[in-house]
Amino acid sequence: MSSQKINDLITLITKLRGPNGCPWDQKQTPESFKPYLLEETHELAEAIDSGDIGHIKEELGDLFFQASFLGNLYAEAGHFTIDDCIQGIIEKMIRRHPHVFTDEKFASDEAISRNWQKIKADEKKKEPSDIIDVPKSLPALTRAQRVSSRIANQGFEWSSDGQLMQKLQEEMAELQVAVKENNDADMKEEIGDVLIMLINLCRRKGFYSEDLMHDSVDGFIERFSTMTTLIDEKQDKLADLSDEEKVACWREAKKSGKNSPTENDI
C-alpha cells in the first residue's frame, strides 16, 4: 500500500467521523470497535483457508480499514498518529532482525527465535521467563500453542517425540482413572492435560492445532451427514438404533468418505 493510498484511506475515515459523516462511525470508540476488528481478522483467516484470491483481497482491505479506523480514533484523542504506529513497527522489526539488518549471525532458526524472545524481553524490561504474554482473547487452541512455543524457545522442551508420547500415555491413563471414578474435577483437569500434550505434539510437528481442529470438525460434520443419509435410505431412525448399529453406520459413512479408514476405525 502506497503512502498516498494510506492518506486517501485516512481522509475517508476522517470524513466518516466528521460533522457531516456517518452517525454509526461518529459514535464509535476503541472499546465499541474492538469486536469488529476481531471479526474481520477471523474473516480474513477464513478467506486465506478458502484460497479464493478475490475474497482474500477483499478481507485484507477490510482489515486495513479496521486497523486504520482504530488508529484514527486514538489520533483524534491526541494519543498517537498512524505514522507513529508505522514508524514504531519499522523500528521494532529492524531491532528484532539483527541477522538481516546487521552482521550478527545465528546457527539455526531456533537460535533466531530465542534471540527474538530475548530482545522482546529486553524491550519490556522483563526476564525471558516472564514473557508468556499471549493474549487471552485468542482462540484457546491457538493461545495454548503459542504459549507452548514460547516456553519451548526458553528451553523447556521434550528431548524426543517418544518422550512426549510417553507423557501423553501417562496423562491418558490418569484421565481413564478419573472417568472410571466419575470425578468431575479430576476429569476436567486431566482432559486439559491431554489437550496440552496433543498441542505440544502439533507444535513439534509443525502442525497448527486450530486448523487441525477445524478440519476434524468439518470431517465429523460430513461423516455425520453421510451417516444420516445412509440411515434414511434404510428407512431407519438414528434414535432407534442400538449402539452397535450406530457404530456400524458410522464406520460405513467413513468408508464412503474421501479418506477410507481401516475396519477398526471409529
Residue spans per domain, the chain = 3-93, 132-207, 211-256
**What pTM was estimated for this model as a whole?**
0.60
Contact (CB, 8 A) for 115 and 98? yes
C-alpha cell at 31: 472499546
What is the CATH code for 132-207?
A: 1.10.287.1080
Which amino acid does the sequence have at 243?
D
CA nearest to 13, candidates 81, 59, 60: 81
| Whole-number pLDDT of residue 57 | 96
| Per-residue model confidence as pLDDT tens digits over 105-116 | 998 888 888 888
The C-alpha cell at 86 is 508505522
List the CATH code of the domain at 3-93.
1.10.287.1080
Report pLDDT for 150. 82
pLDDT in tens, 168-193: 999 999 999 999 999 999 999 999 99
Q: How far is CA 43 from CA 179, 183, 201, in A?
A: 38, 39, 27
Ranges of residues in the chain with a pLDDT under 70 are 1-2, 125-132, 257-266
Q: Is there a contact between 133 and 172 (Cβ–Cβ < 8 Å)?
A: no
- The reply to whether 132-207 shares the fold of 3-93 is yes
Q: How far apart are CA 115 and CA 27, in angstroms?
A: 43
Three-point CA angle 125, 74, 91, nearest 5°: 45
